[in-house]
Every structure is written in structure tokens, then in C-alpha cells.
């Protein structure tokens, strides 16, 4: 469960990106965050795995007070929370498999991942993760040889390798053409059907409405809509 209580975020330059956020997301939800550029969507997502610190309030994720996490505890916490980026964030000059294996050793560059050094169980899990997003046949293809949609599926496999309970995604389909975007969203749906909570930012409102069961509208760092996708109106 993710619980924001009166959370605000002010960046060091003085920009207030989040104001008084109160929000509870239950396990297994599929939530899309919509709103204009600069509204605070990305900041909201990135506080959850502590890529950004909150400035005030309380943020509790899976029972952990996020502000209190550091070091080994923070690393363990992050293994349970997948993160997907618009630009995929793969290491391009190595294979899909090495990118996925790197999930097990976050401090190591995938370029240095020697498949032979990984225990059999990790290799199996990596292959299983690739298979679950139907990209197993590209396991030994370099990331820079893959299409955008394939890269995002490899990135999804990389998060799945560590059995996350939550996957955060910051504009995961913004760089994909409309057909590929839907294909990738179908995999988010599949992963959500397996019980993983999905929280993603998306500027394609139609896709948010089609895939999410709950939509958050953000404006100027505040939640201005929180409800089912089928009730969203043009004001959000």
C-alpha cells in the first residue's frame, strides 16, 4: 500500500512541486496520473521510491516510512519497486539478458555483467521475466538492436526479475507510436492482472482512460481529480 499524508515537495530552487497530497493506493490497483507538463506528476511518482525526498508530511510504502530509509534498507526497498522510464534507461551496448540480470546487482553496470557469474536461479528468473513479456527470443540481442516497444518490454522484464509489488512508470509510452504504445500498455495490464500495483504518468488521456481503473488528475502540485476512469471530464 502507498499512503501520502499531507505530503509537500519543494525543490532546492524553491519550486513547490507537490502541495498537501493525501492519497492512498491499495495493492493491485492500476492508477494513471494525468495533467499538464509541469503539474507534478513525475515528482509524485519519484517520491515513492525516494528518487526525490519529500519536504513535509508522511509517505508510507508497504509499511515503510520512506523518509527514514537509507543505505541497505533503501536498496532492498527499491528492489521491491520497479521503475520504468520514457527513455527506457537500458544500457544500449549490451544484451537484453544482461540488462535484466543487472536488476540483481543495482550497483554494477550491465556492461560488466558476466552471465556465467550469475547463479542458475537468477538466470532462470531473468529468462522467465523476458518470456513473460514475450521477448525471450531477443534475450541475447543487444539493446541497441531493439525497437522502442521491445526496449520497453526489456525494461519491464528488468523490473519483474526482482518480483516487485509495485511498478512506477514515468511516461512509459510517450516515445512510442500509437500502436506500439497500446502493445506496451497491454503488458502493463497483464502484469497488473498478476497482482502488481501499477502507477504511471501518461499524457495520452485516452490511454489512461482505457487501461487504468483509477485516474488521478494533477494541477499545480495538487490532486484535482481522483476517481474512476469513466467519470473523468474535460477539466482534468
Smallest distance, ligand ADP to C-beta of residue 46, A: 8
Q: How far is the CB of 197 from ligand ADP (least distance, A)?
A: 19
Q: What is the DSSP string of the chain?
A: -EEEEEEEEE-TTS-EEEEEEEEEE-TT-EEEEE--TTSSHHHHHHHHTTSS--SEEEEEETTEEGGG--HHHHHHHHHTEEEEETT----TTSBHHHHHHGGG-TTS-GGG--GGGS-HHHHHHHHHHHHHTT-GGGTTSBGGGS-HHHHHHHHHHHHHTT--SEEEEESTTTTS-HHHHHHHHHHHHHHHHTT-EEEEE-S-HHHHHHH-SEEEEEETTEEEEEEEGGG--TT-
Of 11 and 140, CB closest to ligand ADP: 11
User: In this chain, which residue has its C-beta nearest to ligand ADP?
Assistant: 42
Cβ closer to ligand ADP: 42 or 102? 42
149-168 footprint of ligand ADP as x/- string (CB under 6 A): --------------------
Site for ligand ADP in 196-225 (CB under 6 A): 201
Nearest to 59 by CA among 76, 71, 38, 44: 44
Q: Which stretch binds ligand ADP (CB under 6 A): 10-18, 95-103, 108-116, 161-169?
A: 10-18
Answer yes or no whether residue 110 interacts with ligand ADP by CB under 6 A.
no
Footprint (CB under 6 A) of ligand ADP, residues 34-63: 35, 37-43
Q: Which is nearer to ligand ADP, 43 or 99 (CB)?
A: 43
The residue (of 40 and 172) whose beta carbon lies closer to ligand ADP is 40
Q: 17, 59, 81, 167: which one contacts ligand ADP (CB under 6 A)?
A: 17
Q: Which residues contribute to the site for ligand ADP (CB under 6 A)?
A: 11, 13, 15, 17, 35, 37-43, 201
Amino acid at each position: 500500500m502507498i499512503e501520502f499524508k499531507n505530503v509537500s515537495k519543494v525543490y532546492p530552487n524553491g519550486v513547490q512541486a507537490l502541495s498537501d497530497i493525501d492519497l492512498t493506493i491499495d495493492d493491485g490497483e492500476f492508477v494513471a496520473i494525468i495533467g499538464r507538463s509541469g503539474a507534478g506528476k513525475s515528482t509524485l511518482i519519484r517520491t515513492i521510491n525516494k528518487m526525490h525526498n519529500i519536504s513535509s508530511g508522511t509517505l508510507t510504502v508497504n509499511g515503510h516510512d520512506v523518509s527514514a530509509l537509507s543505505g541497505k534498507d533503501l536498496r532492498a526497498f527499491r528492489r521491491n519497486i520497479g521503475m520504468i522510464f520514457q527513455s527506457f534507461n537500458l544500457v544500449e551496448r549490451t544484451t537484453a539478458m544482461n540488462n535484466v540480470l543487472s536488476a540483481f546487482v543495482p550497483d554494477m553496470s550491465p556492461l560488466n555483467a558476466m552471465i556465467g557469474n550469475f547463479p542458475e536461479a537468477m538466470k532462470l528468473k531473468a529468462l522467465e521475466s523476458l518470456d513473460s513479456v514475450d521477448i525471450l527470443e531477443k534475450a541475447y540481442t543487444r539493446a541497441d538492436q531493439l525497437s522502442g516497444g521491445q526496449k520497453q518490454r526489456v525494461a519491464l522484464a528488468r523490473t519483474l526479475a526482482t518480483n516487485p509489488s509495485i511498478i512506477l512508470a514515468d511516461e512509459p509510452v510517450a516515445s512510442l507510436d500509437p500502436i506500439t504504445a497500446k502493445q506496451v500498455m497491454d503488458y502493463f495490464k497483464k502484469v497488473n492482472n498478476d497482482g502488481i500495483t501499477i502507477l504511471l504518468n501518461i499524457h495520452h488521456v485516452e490511454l489512461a482512460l482505457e487501461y487504468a481503473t483509477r485516474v488521478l488528475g494533477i494541477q499545480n502540485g495538487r490532486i484535482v481529480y481522483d476517481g474512476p476512469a469513466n467519470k473523468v471530464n474535460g477539466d482534468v
